[in-house]
Chains A and B, each alone.
Chain A
Amino acid sequence: MARDKALKLLNTRDPALKGLLEVPEEEYMYSGHNACPGCGAAQAMRFVLKALGNQTINVLAASCWSGIAGVFPYSALKIPVLHTAFETAAAAASGVRASLDMQGDKETVVLAWAGDGGTFDIGLQALSGAGERNEDILYVCYDNEAYMNTGVHRSSATPYLAWTATTPVIHPQDRPKKDILAIMAAHRIPYAATASVAFPHDLIEKAGKAKGIRGTRFLHIYSPCTPGWRYSPELGIKIARLAVESKVFPLYEVEGGERYTLSYRPRAVPVREYLRLQGRFDHLREEEIGLIQEEVDRRWERLLRWCT
């Protein structure tokens, strides 16, 4: 049962699951990178690379990570990195893959890395193209729910009623967050999954699983942003965890575009618990929290139907 497994995943000391749980020792990232204190995106990269190892090439689209990765002549990653334009992660990765294939290298993992803006918005077309062609790449979207690098501007991943610098509190985000995983599932790619930095074992396991699959693989990683979400930096993991526990960001996998599997059954924390830790939701009125709760519950029920 997914729930039992996931629950045990939390208990890092359970010897029965040791083989499953051992977090790879090796790091493929260096200290000294430029992420803000407590950055979820930095954690996401660290976890993913732990699963993928050094035979990986990172195609890095414009995002916070363009800066995190280090200013020339420094690099924060132990793997090759190709910095590329905002909307091109999936396309450039397709090209790297093609080149490696032509050189007889089928093993090296081509990791396309982009934020939510580069995935949900400007890079969606390229991603759709790559997914439809079933390019043999692993695409990771680290989702901090807005254009953070530019100064917190809404994207189509920004949640309903959230504040950003372009959705001020007098007119906050007025549309629900785009369901990117459903979009990717609709491409019938072999593997798509959500993951969270608060559940590193699950995340690493999924990245490892994705590594072993050929074709387009998509990981949607929930990555809290301290300045953008307006919370004190130590709370990042807590918020990410509450996002899962409150069903705001469920953890699940979609294989072949059809087989939905829940990775973890949340403890059903009210969304209020999740929202109240973040300044971007400070302006919410009680009835608005109710609206969000309803929407979360509705989507959860729908997900459960898909999972059966």
Chain B
Amino acid sequence: MEKVILSSHAVAYAVKLCRAQVITAFPITPQTAIIEKLAEFCATGELRARFIKVESEHSGMAALIGASSAGSRTFTATSSQGLALMHEVLHWAAGARLPIVMVNGNRALGPPWNLGPEHTDSLSQRDTGWLQFYCESGQEAIDTVIQAYRVAEEVLLPVIVALDGYYLTHTTEPIDIPEEAVVDEYLPPYHPKHKLDVADPKAFGGFAGPELYMEFRYKMFQAMEEAQRVAAKADLDFRRLFGRGYGLVDPYRLEDAELALVAAGTLASTAREVVDARRGLGEKVGLLRIRLFRPFPRAEVRQALARVSKVAVIDRAISFGHEGIVSQELKAALYGGEHRPLIYGFVAGLGGRDVTPEDLEEALDRAGKEGPEEEVLWLGIRL
């Protein structure tokens, strides 16, 4: 059923279709529309779930740790400071191997206070053990949330589905809301092998010293590796049932491209326009959109960029002291491969600054000419 709705509401529909049982939320812009809609669903009974209006994001995630450990499908949404506040328990949720799904409305961290979209909030949770998907559209958002549960519950790791604040959370588009019965077919009910159960009392998460801790971490590592295959399969299965799929990475006109833009989230839409424009001028330019950031789909990325000679990565994030985060990841992924294009890392659009086609044009131009690839290239800086 197609509806013209906010992407945030699309997320709420996805959560409803997935029959999440425990939801927690603390208000933070720009994810609020998601939880408002969910609150409404829970209040009307359209969704049979307990909605805990927690006093902080930290408690929100902690509560989901409890609920998930007790065997429920869980959901929360947050942004920016809220996600940062959760940091400790993000580790805990992953370490406890709990298939929690969380939507993050990407937003810059203060100070200065800022509400605009930026990926630093979720990208800086890279090492917590969560899977991370970055969406480009409302349709992708609803579909990815559904896929996220499927993947999370198979590999027993939590998933962040990231939506650019405002650009995505607050935009309205016609969205096909999947049929409930088909979602049920796609996503069976959650029945964990181990849960808190008075009939089978076990202690979860007790102390493990150096003689065992590392083995548990190795199991997480293995699960994350496995997650690539599972995510790909989940996407394929989704495509089979719903006629749509996204891949782990999303290549655009890369077949014969010499220069590729790489971006995540809504920036990719602008990039696509620029690619088309340059193609119109006869330049062999393409785009690679990173959809799955964790685990990082090394093989898919290498394959997609196998023929390009130059890459311009546009990061809506910065790791101070080094460079854009996607840029680093990309370099690391390609370094081990046989084909090593020149990679230019651009930082753009921080704090919600608009990244215009002109900015991307500039990036393409500079990627062609400018010097060492180690240099961090800033777009649109006015000093």
Contact = CB atoms under 8 A, between A and B. Distances in A.
Interface of A: 54-57, 59, 66-67, 69-75, 77-85, 87-88, 90-103, 108, 125-126, 128-129, 132-133, 135
B198 A55 contact: yes
A74 B56 CA distance: 33
Contact of A92 (B53, B65, B88, B212): B65
Contacts of B372: none
B92 A84 contact: yes
Contact of A96 (B58, B69, B206): B69
Interface string B46-81: 001110111110111011111111111010000000
B78 to A, nearest CB: 14
A24 to B, nearest CB: 17
Contacts of A96: 66-67, 69-70, 196
A298 B54 CA distance: 37
A100 B203 contact: no
User: For chain B, which range describes its interface: under 10, 10 to 19, 20 to 34, or 35 or more residues?
Assistant: 35 or more
Contacts of A59: 66
B65 A100 contact: no
A91 B69 contact: no
The 5 closest A-B pairs by CB, nearest first: A95-B66, A129-B55, A95-B63, A91-B59, A83-B205
Contact of B59 (A56, A80, A98, A125): A125
B196 A95 contact: no
Interface of B: 21-22, 24, 48-50, 52-56, 58-60, 62-72, 74, 88-89, 92, 196-198, 200-209, 212
Given A67-B207, A79-B198, A108-B198, A101 B89 contact: no
Nearest to A92: B66
Contact of A82 (B53, B69, B209): B69
Given A75-B203, A78-B201, 7 more contacts: A82-B66, A88-B65, A91-B54, A95-B22, A99-B22, A99-B67, A99-B72
22 contacts: A54-B198, A54-B201, A55-B198, A57-B196, A81-B202, A83-B206, A84-B66, A87-B58, A88-B59, A88-B89, A94-B54, A95-B65, A95-B68, A95-B74, A96-B196, A98-B22, A99-B68, A99-B70, A99-B72, A103-B70, A129-B56, A133-B52
A294 to B, nearest CB: 37
Contacts of A75: 201-203, 206
A57 B65 CA distance: 14
B204 A95 contact: no
Contacts, number: 162
A79 B205 CA distance: 14
B303 to A, nearest CB: 40
A56 B24 contact: no
Nearest to B198: A55
A290 B271 CA distance: 76
Given A84-B92, A88-B62, A99-B70, A125 B56 contact: yes
A197 B89 CA distance: 32
Nearest to A132: B55
B198 A81 contact: no
Determine chain A's interface SS by DSSP, over half rule: mixed
Nearest to A90: B59
A117 B264 CA distance: 42
A67 B59 CA distance: 23
Contacts of B74: 95
A133 B63 contact: no
A85 B74 CA distance: 19
Contact of A126 (B22, B53, B62): B62
B206 A71 contact: yes
Contacts of B65: 82, 84, 88, 92, 95
A99 B49 CA distance: 9
A84 B204 CA distance: 9
A93 B48 CA distance: 20
Nearest to B51: A98
A233 B62 CA distance: 36
Contacts of B88: 85
A115 to B, nearest CB: 16
B79 to A, nearest CB: 19
Contacts of A135: 52
A133 B53 contact: yes
A102 B53 contact: no
A97 B21 CA distance: 12
B56 A66 contact: no
B201 A80 contact: yes
Contacts of A98: 21-22, 50, 52, 63, 66-67, 72
Contacts of A73: 206
A69 B207 CA distance: 9
A99 B71 CA distance: 7
B55 A79 contact: no
Contacts of A103: 70-72
Most central of A81, A82, A95, A108 by chain B CB within 10 Å: A95
Contact of A125 (B55, B67, B201, B204): B55
